[in-house]
Amino acid sequence: MKRIILASASPRRRELLEQIGIKFEIRVSDREEMFHSTIPEEIVRELALQKAENVAEMLKKEETGGQDCVIIGADTIVVRDGKILGKPGDDEEAFQMLRSLQGRDHQVFTGVALLDFGEDGRGNVTLHAEETKVFVDNMSDDEIRQYVKTGECRDKAGAYGIQGRFAAYISRIEGDYYNVVGLPVSYLYRQLRNILIAFSESLY
């Protein structure tokens, strides 16, 4: 069987892959992330591919190499009015981010890069970007500050986690819920299934 490698340190992405029964390894990209596009879909595809390619380079330097493996790179951004909201640097920045989201909608984009390597070390690249629209209820300043105090917002783009306590303030979404958590798992499962089926058939 092919090795499946997740090029991410995100505990949420790890949990999602485990949830759908995928057996995988984790290798974390250590390269500084950079992007050139200003279009959200292109940005997340760029960043996801960078992570996957960096892990591929790491594997090629090892004895086992990068043969017969699929590397998954992923990156998620939160966008409001065309502005990217990253991870807050402190509680006050988190408060301001959350205040800007209340009573309206914003978009969450996740890019997925799949690098499928054969025995010859050559890889096929599949890139995808998923968009989900998230609608947040009106929140009082006190509700925002109480949420910030939970600490959930500190390592999350947009300063919230939809799967945590912030769920109380999500009125609805349009699109894939798991995309907001960090991975469009239905899309990813279908792609991995097709890759593994094709690999199995090539053995006979």
Residues classed as catalytic: 75
Q: How far apart are CA 125 and CA 204, in angstroms?
A: 24
Helix, strand, coil share (%) of the chain residues, nearest 5 = 40, 25, 30
Q: How far apart are CA 166 and CA 148, in angstroms?
A: 10
Q: How far apart are CA 76 and CA 4, in angstroms?
A: 20
54's tokens: 């960096």
Encoded amino acid at 28, one letter: V
Q: How far apart are CA 109 and CA 121, in angstroms?
A: 30
Which residue matches tokens 């025995």? 119
Which residue matches tokens 């997340």? 44
From residue 46, how far is each of 36, 67, 72, 181 by CA, in Å?
8, 23, 13, 19
